[in-house]
Copies of this chain bind each other. A is one copy, B any other.
């Protein structure tokens, strides 16, 4: 147990791979370096993942599923549209702090992966956009939001969160700072920035 870095060998490898892929992207990441970072031999990586691509995909998949679960949990607690958007903002920032460096590389780097998997990723993406659109449209029905194009706004909202989180990614927020960020973000989207 030379590396008491916790977790099974498989988890150690995924952890290391996430770090390396995040810094170097898929193509420049070397299996050997990942193995080294994980404190295992190069061959050991192949005991748990049948290829570099499979390793990459499993990391993405885990991230996507975790994100979905966290979002679902937040939405389960939320009552109003405002609370729902708040939840999405919160989990987005948290997830991006973990996965964004990787995601930045991912969009295109996955295009070459077999299309079923790429399609799955795209589907996940659209699921989230549609989730936001549905929240927006529900809010319009409840008279909480004014009448807008829900999908158009979902693009702006989701992209905006990515843009914001991507740049705050290196900072280590306290709980309070994070809540303040969420509050203000939501405020801008809800009330707009124009002087009344």
Contacts and interface: CB of A to CB of B under 8 A. Distances in A.
Contact of A26 (B82, B109, B156, B168): B109
B90 A182 contact: yes
Q: What is the oligomeric copy number?
A: 4
A119 B109 CA distance: 22
A128 B133 CA distance: 28
Contact of A82 (B128, B155, B157, B190): B190
B24 A111 contact: yes
B135 A85 contact: yes
B25 A111 contact: yes
Contacts of A182: 86, 89-90, 93
Given A144-B81, A145-B195, A184 B108 contact: no
Interface in A135-161: 135-136, 138-139, 142-146, 148-149, 152-153, 155-161
21 contacts: A24-B111, A24-B112, A64-B121, A71-B128, A80-B144, A81-B144, A86-B183, A88-B131, A93-B173, A96-B166, A106-B107, A106-B109, A129-B167, A146-B195, A148-B193, A152-B185, A156-B188, A157-B160, A160-B163, A188-B192, A189-B192
Pairs of residues from A and B, 4 with the lowest C-beta to C-beta distance, nearest first: A159-B163, A192-B192, A105-B108, A160-B160
Interface of A: 23-28, 53, 56-57, 60-61, 64, 68, 71, 80-82, 84-86, 88-90, 92-93, 95-97, 100-101, 103-113, 117, 120-121, 124, 127-129, 131-132, 135-136, 138-139, 142-146, 148-149, 152-153, 155-169, 173, 178, 181-186, 188-196
